Amino acid sequence: MKIEPLQPANPAPVAPRLKVVLVEDKPDLRDSWSRLINSFSDFVCVGTCVSGEEALRTIPTLRPDVVLMDIFLPRMSGIECTTRLREVLPKLPIVMLTGVEDNELVFMALQAGADGFLLKHTKPADLHLALLEVRRGGAPMTSEIARRVVESFRRPARPSEPGVHLSVREEEVLILLSKGYSNKEIAEQLSLSVDTVGSHLKHIYEKMHVRSRAEAVARYMAANA
């Protein structure tokens, strides 16, 4: 009796890894996050960008499945970059990354079209789950940020001050100013020079018709009381 050799079973097709682009200006964080993404079996970091301007040039050509976007970038903020990416790639999932918990910035990012919000100290397992969730159409958020969003919805809506139209970057500067940050601290937080922060403050004062940081903060607090 002739015994036929066993034929190897056809291996199951391996799903391609989902492509991620990371937008982060700090080299150490950029390297560690890209390595972390590449450690996941179902995701691969296909590109990193150090600025919003580079992201706008690079991301449309790479066509990633997910973008992780730092909220504080030099010159063009991550919020503004998200707004502009939405114009060319309206269905691209974008998750914002931040080192600070701030209600105003969360809502600015969500209004710009962000699909999720994670703190930079998010655990690797939680990052992996967030990437999977946003690809399924969800809106992943670090628990601390989700709690703040819920609390904000429980409070009455705060009217914006009429007649004052600040840019995204000016709003970011004003928010930090209202929290007592010095010009130097604002510059460090937003990856800007102190002179650039001073220029933004000048424009804020002109638009709000005030002459000092104290007046600007007072008007901001009154409008958001």
Tell me, what's the pLDDT at 1? 54
Q: What fold, for 18-153?
A: Rossmann fold (3.40.50)
Query: How many residues appear in the chain?
Result: 225
Q: Which residues pair with 97 in a beta bridge?
A: 70, 118
Structure confidence at residue 58 (pLDDT):
96
pLDDT per residue as tens, the chain (225 positions): 555 665 655 655 667 889 999 999 999 999 999 999 999 999 999 999 999 999 999 999 999 999 999 988 888 889 889 999 999 999 999 999 887 766 677 777 877 888 888 888 888 999 999 999 888 888 888 776 666 666 655 554 444 455 678 888 888 888 888 777 788 888 888 888 889 988 988 888 888 888 777 777 777 766 765
How would you list the strands of the sheet with 94-98, edge to edge? 43-49, 18-23, 66-70, 94-98, 116-119
Q: Where are the domains of the chain?
A: 18-153, 168-223
pLDDT of res. 24: 95
Contact in structure between 98 and 108 (CB atoms under 8 Å) = no
Q: What is the pLDDT of residue 157?
A: 45
Q: Where do the H-state alpha helices sit in the chain?
A: 27-39, 52-62, 78-88, 103-112, 124-135, 143-154, 168-178, 183-190, 194-208, 213-223
CATH of 168-223, one of 3.50.50.60, 1.10.10.10, 3.30.1380.10, 1.10.540.10: 1.10.10.10
Taking phi first (over 0 means left), then psi (-120 to 50 degrees means alpha), and beta for anything else, what does residue 75 get? left
Residue 68, beta-bridge partner list: 22, 95
Residue 94: its pLDDT value, please? 94
